[in-house]
Amino acid sequence: MVQRTQLPMRKRMFAPEIFLTWVAARTNTIRIGHGVVCMPFNFNHPVRVAERAAMLDLLSGGRLDLGAGRGGTVQETSLCGVDRDRTTAEVEEALRIIGKAWQEEELEYHGELLDIDPHPILPRPAQLPHPPLFLACSRAETLTQAAELGIGALVMGFAGPQSIAGMRAVYDAARAARDGARFVSSVVNDHFSVLCPTIVLDDPEEARRIGIRGQRFFAQSIGHWYGGAGIPDEAVVSGADEAAEMRKAAEQVVARLHELDIPVRPTATATFNAGHAYGSADEAIAYVERLREAGADEVMCLVQMGTVPQEACLETLRQWGEKVIPHFRDRGAGAPGAAREA
């Protein structure tokens, strides 16, 4: 999964279709996904998203997954003149337009936010009726929205398996209660995909040190862009107790919230939870098993976090490819707990 964003200290993929086309040309079987395309109209007109995604699906031989998100920070919305109050509604309408554009000979759409007179939308995707649709979900409201729209959930998994189990329960409850009135397409995708921060090396302690340090940078970046906190710490200190540094960073978040008289909820420090797939391949397998038991249909591996060196990223991918993924593949293709690199 590759995100499209203007947050330079958080994610650095600014032209995902170009990169993903490069990946598609050099691979044959792995699925290729956007996690996510920012769907508010001033970021990306829904018809243009449908055209670009369909082309990528064709070039990859039908391997595309399309994730949608809001891109709701001031940093992002101010660049393109996006109305932050409309982002949720625009994402839903965009998904509805994309689903319609891919299934009809000629697109005509008259909604609350956009009017589109009849136009043929080309090309058509390779997957029929179209690539699976997903929505980025971090709150109960978005999990419920995804289920009611009939699309998959892309879930941030920083708080750990217990939190994931609770989020899965919200998603499943909304699925059970829906009547189909809000479906964005004739095909339903009930896939629950969970983010899994991971660094796997032959030296488990080094993997934990590198992974936790990278995650701390990532967490501080989220706090900076979404919560107005300070610039994230980029320093990498040899031999540092990174678990202790992570706890200290979480305590600083709590202190700041107290100073601002803002209630401290569990989600406030979720991104500072360091208990993830850091260590050996066996430890990564055990953690993915816990995510599977919590309800994950697949995991999206978060590897390239800020301070993580390139060689650690590449070695992690190798270890997952040679040791972690085969463990779950041997249990049957498509079984819960499958893994995907992000």
Reply yes or no on whether the pLDDT at 5 is more than 60.
no
In this predicted structure, the answer to whether residue 93 has a pLDDT above a threshold of 60 is yes
State the pLDDT at residue 261. 67
- pLDDT tens across 118-127, in order? 999 999 999 9
What band does 281 get if pLDDT is binned at 50, 70 and 90? Answer: very high
- Do 144 and 286 belong to one domain? yes
Q: Residue 274 above 70 pLDDT? A: yes
Of the listed ranges 63-67, 106-110, 207-211, 234-238, the one predicted with least confidence: 234-238
The predicted structure's pLDDT at residue 266: 67
Last residue of a domain, one of 255, 276, 297: 276
For residue 307, the one-letter residue type is T
Average pLDDT across the chain, whole number: 88
Residue 45 sits in the same domain as residue 153? yes
Residue scoring higher pLDDT (14 or 308)? 308
Q: Examine the domain organization and report whether 250 and 318 are in the same domain.
A: no
Domain boundary among 245, 276, 307: 276
pLDDT at 242: 87
**Among candidate residues 230, 256, 276, the one where a domain is terminated:** 276
pLDDT at 102 > cutoff 70: yes
- pLDDT at residue 109, rounded to an integer: 96
Q: Is residue 267's pLDDT more than 90? A: no
Together in a domain, 93 and 227? no
Closest CA to 165 of 150, 176, 155, 178: 155
Query: According to the model, what pLDDT value does residue 270 have?
Result: 81
Are 52 and 17 within 8 A, CB to CB? yes
Q: Is residue 8 part of a domain?
A: no
Per DSSP, the residues of 2-62 read B---S-TTT---S-HHHHHHHHHHT-SSS-EEEEEEE-STTT--HHHHHHHHHHHHHHTTS
Give the pLDDT confidence score for residue 259 in this predicted structure.
72
101 phi, psi to nearest 5 deg: -60, -35
**Do 215 and 264 belong to one domain?**
yes
Query: 219 with 86, same domain?
Result: no
**Phi, psi angle pair for 2, to nearest 5°:** -130, 130
Examine the pLDDT at 334 and tell me if it is beyond 50: no
Least confident of 36-50, 166-180, 233-247: 233-247
Q: Decide which of 3 and 317 is more confident.
A: 317
The domain tally of the chain equals 2
Tell me the per-residue pLDDT of 224-251, one tens digit each, with 9 for 90 and over: 766 666 777 787 888 888 889 888 888 8
CATH of the domain at 170: 3.20.20.30
Q: What is the pLDDT of residue 264?
A: 60
Residue 194 confidence (pLDDT): 96
What gap in Å lies between CA 253 and CA 274, rounded to an integer? 15
> How do 152-155 and 298-302 pair as beta strands?
unpaired
For residue 72, pLDDT over 70 is answered with: no
Task: Tell me: do 156 and 295 sit in the same domain.
Answer: yes
For residue 340, pLDDT over 60 is answered with: no
The pLDDT, as a whole number, for residue 12 is 55
Query: What's the domain range around 28?
Result: 16-200+278-341
Q: At what angle do helices 46-59 and 87-101 cross, to 10 degrees?
A: 50
Q: Both 239 and 186 in a single domain? A: no
Question: Are 96 and 59 in contact, with CB atoms under 8 Å apart?
Answer: no
What's the pLDDT score for residue 13? 65
pLDDT of 9 > 80? The answer is no
Instruction: Tell me, yes or no, whether 222 and 325 share the same domain.
Output: no
- Mean pLDDT of all residues in 28-52: 93
Residue 258 and residue 156 in one domain:
no
304 and 214 share a domain? no
